[in-house]
Chains A and B, each alone.
Chain A
């Protein structure tokens, strides 16, 4: 179990990285906690690996009134410690193990797009987005490819166009199992997680076989109450029960009433209708369907309680 051969590149700035990605068929290496197992098992054999760990300016965790922007190199442990978003914090506690979170990045997990992973569901339930950058057309910056590790001399010519950036909303970003909207040549530079609206609470409930495993099923929920503490909006995103995080808006099913009188059975039924779990070696589809309802109710109740009693 050793990685297959590849040409290694360690660009020193974003422009060089984007040049490389435009010119070679390369895999981006950030935290490596998903990519390197695939390499070790030789399930992935990229000709080039573009290690973005030396790029400046991508480690930021910026919290603003509208939400938090997490840079491509912000490690999961750093984001959790920063305490910038309640739902991100709730989800990160469930991501693998502490040691993995020391290396793994939030953005990397989004791009990996594992349907059983927590962070894609967080982005999806919040309606967040991922920022993708690529080299501008015609913006070639010289012979950057195949010069592993060395800064590209032609990488920063004056006056050449900056990168082309697009912001992809979560519902478009997760295209399928292990498939994101990031195209060859694109680098995910940051993700934006919208802040919770006022009088909102969130929760993440999942069940994994072992602590830290990918969940058999999981549900993250955001509940917003109105001034009378009636449920104004309720959304869930479910993991492990579809090809991508399955988002369900259950506001209507909740009815505009206090959490205590929400018809949970109907809400749970609505969530179950939205998902398409499958059998695998760890659990049957029927069990997952049952479980996602149980977890949805737990997460929604918890989120509603937090919305009613903000910390």
Chain B
């Protein structure tokens, strides 16, 4: 069989266990573990006067109740601020259990451990917390006025303010360029909150055996959880292992760490000497994890008669909720990725990251890009409308041309490195999209519109990932990498890479991700980076193993390594198939033995003549075993791109919006597995449709989340998602050996912009606020009918 599997739609090896109920998610582990539950704040802002746990003590099966005062010093400290930034002058994080003030509904106040979750919840219900309610700060603009404060020591509720300016080629500032432009527009845009909302919530299971701590967490980063847990509990790193088992979706929320529960559950397991497990329920996930998206943007743009942007000035209010554990990554991404595939004459962007008494904001798939793209694409549409030009023509006029790569946007990206696009072909992509959706032939009529949206996505950020590849004496290949999987099919894609690099049938390859026992150095799964960073690391590790295998085989076959190749798991001399040696045997020979554990191993023992007596059995600089470890650390991000178009119909009476067609052209460089990439796009677009038409987090003035359930937070079902038509363009990245870019977040990024564009086209008035419900479209119609 062929081992050239890179680029093939190989079926997923994960599927069999997941289809038969044999997957192992955190809550499937530790059947005898004690269960944790939490008393969480019912107030958005309150001072804790007193906590009375006495009534709970009678609950049968209760094991322990902990408040902040019960926590030892290290455990009770504020959670780490994961990504510091000079502009984040007032970063604040929560305590694992609230110390004296709660700042959002859902903040954990008391931890209960009991025999099972039912009993733990019974105990929670009997704990009385005496709160002195404080007036909450809700709503971005109210918060920005700063009349009331979320944190007493954060004036104006401003956690960070960051200004980036890129002058035009003529040296003019953006504001000056706008002032002097032939045409200018100014407007305001709004995007509301949504959330990752994986179907499996968070979860932690911990076991302490007196020396070693083993933690399973439903996380996107097991290595970082490990370091955080070891630090908080004062344990030496080698005594802590963290495993991400099967994870039921992440979409960003599970990159945050350590969650309070990731510290408290292991601590309780150590304190009690018992296995402890916490499984987040849906309500907890709504009010105690993280949200994203909410921004208000004030835009001024100046442009010429062709629609070319001469200056763009964007001021962003970013709602980051009550705390900033993930720093200001989201608004940084918004401000940089806003530029998309365009050359903007001069650019000024300033954001203020604002505290509110709501759930914290951390990256959700797209991570600030949907907001940035909404801003830029609304701007393009407004320019086209102002000039009476076709919307694609205006975009085309602003594109970076294919011969302009690498293209330096003159800004600093989220990884602290210059925003330099590696490759792409935007004009061709737009042409493909127009062809796919039938842009030029589209028949516009009232209630039927077409929309378009373009984006560039910095993917595969560093600092690094690693891969370890080991060929065992049975000829099997064991691949491991430290980053985690939440359904992206890494086991399959990485096995394809290894099979292709090593020339081994994929059936003989196994892949482990997210298990610190197997690989301890890693960053995590986010920013569409797994294929780029781990994929390349595994490829490099395979190349090391391959080189070693050829060297050993060359010795055994008395051939030149340059004349050897590996196919189907066998090393052979090119053109002389009879001169061959199985990789299994090479693996045996790679490990000089004193003791034979089986017949095959006997070949490597000291009297078998496997190595020459005039040199050490393991040569200087060499290591025993046919294995290799390597790392890939990108110089900077790769830049994937995509363009989407949609046709919508709006009901003239009920104001329902129906997406009739949805088309995607996507470029993520070379594809490892097109089936998986396609699936990523489908899923991303579906989340985008959710964000455009259905999902929002609705807070009332008291800071209560009014729709903290699947009944009222409207994640789309199959009946709400259009069929998605896709086309691929492959412009390989010159930055990495595999030429890949990354695809995880792509689908979601432009959807709100595209649907707003199409609804605007159908209705004839601006759509500047997303998501849009039938009720809101109805209200807009009334307002514009009255104009």
Q: Give A residues with C-beta under 8 Å from B.
A: 1-5, 41-42, 207, 209-214, 216, 281-284, 286-288, 290-291, 294
Contacts and interface: CB of A to CB of B under 8 A. Distances in A.
B606 interface: no
Contact of B283 (A41, A211, A286): A41
A216 B775 contact: yes
A211 B121 CA distance: 33
Contacts of A291: 654
Given A2-B117, A42-B121, 12 more contacts: A42-B125, A209-B714, A209-B773, A211-B717, A211-B720, A281-B698, A281-B707, A282-B712, A284-B775, A284-B778, A294-B653, A294-B654
Nearest to A295: B654
Contacts of B714: 209-210, 213
B719 A210 contact: yes
Given A1-B282, A4-B122, A4-B125, A210 B717 contact: yes
A290 B782 CA distance: 11
A212 B710 CA distance: 12
B657 to A, nearest CB: 11
Interface string B329-348: 00000000000000000000
Nearest to A284: B775
B656 interface: yes
B706 interface: yes
Interface string B680-716: 0000000000000010001000000011010110101
A287 B118 contact: no
A284 B716 CA distance: 21
Contacts of A283: 773-775
Contacts of B698: 281
B653 A281 contact: no
29 contacts: A1-B283, A2-B118, A4-B122, A5-B118, A5-B122, A41-B283, A42-B125, A207-B656, A207-B774, A209-B694, A209-B714, A209-B773, A209-B774, A210-B694, A210-B720, A211-B720, A212-B717, A212-B719, A213-B714, A214-B711, A216-B775, A281-B698, A281-B706, A281-B707, A284-B779, A286-B779, A287-B775, A287-B778, A291-B654
A43 to B, nearest CB: 11
If over half of A's interface residues share one DSSP class (helix, strand or loop), that class is named, otherwise mixed; here it is loop
B514 to A, nearest CB: 27
Contacts of B32: none
- Which one of B122, B283, B709, B778 has the highest number of Cβ atoms from chain A below 10 Å of its Cβ? B778
* 8 cross-chain pairs, A with B, having the tightest CB-CB distances, nearest first: A211-B719, A283-B775, A287-B775, A1-B281, A2-B118, A281-B698, A294-B653, A287-B778
Interface in B701-739: 706-707, 709, 711-712, 714, 716-717, 719-720
Contacts of A290: 778
B654 A207 contact: yes
Nearest to B706: A281
Contact of A210 (B118, B281, B716): B716
Nearest to B699: A281
Contacts of B773: 209, 282-283
Contacts of A3: 118
B707 A287 contact: no
A5 B283 CA distance: 19
A39 to B, nearest CB: 11
Contacts of B717: 210-212
Interface in B749-787: 773-775, 778-779, 782
Contacts of A287: 655, 774-775, 778-779
Contacts of A1: 121, 281-283
Contacts of B694: 209-210
A294 B706 CA distance: 28
Contacts of A213: 711, 714
A213 B716 CA distance: 11
A213 B710 CA distance: 10
Contacts of A2: 117-118, 121
Given A1-B281, A2-B117, A281 B125 contact: no
Contact of B775 (A4, A210, A282, A294): A282
A42 B117 CA distance: 14
B785 to A, nearest CB: 12
Contacts of B655: 287
A282 B706 CA distance: 11
Nearest to B718: A211
B730 to A, nearest CB: 36
B539 to A, nearest CB: 43
Contacts of A286: 778-779, 782
Contacts of B709: 41
Contacts of B719: 210-212
Nearest to A97: B717
Contacts of A288: 775
B561 to A, nearest CB: 61
Contacts of B720: 210-211
A277 to B, nearest CB: 11
Interface string B169-182: 00000000000000
Nearest to A291: B654
Nearest to A290: B778
Nearest to A288: B775
Nearest to B116: A2
Nearest to A5: B122
A283 B717 CA distance: 20
Contacts of A212: 717, 719
A282 B720 CA distance: 16
A281 B697 CA distance: 10
A41 B286 CA distance: 13
A290 B778 CA distance: 9
A282 B696 CA distance: 10
Interface in B604-645: none
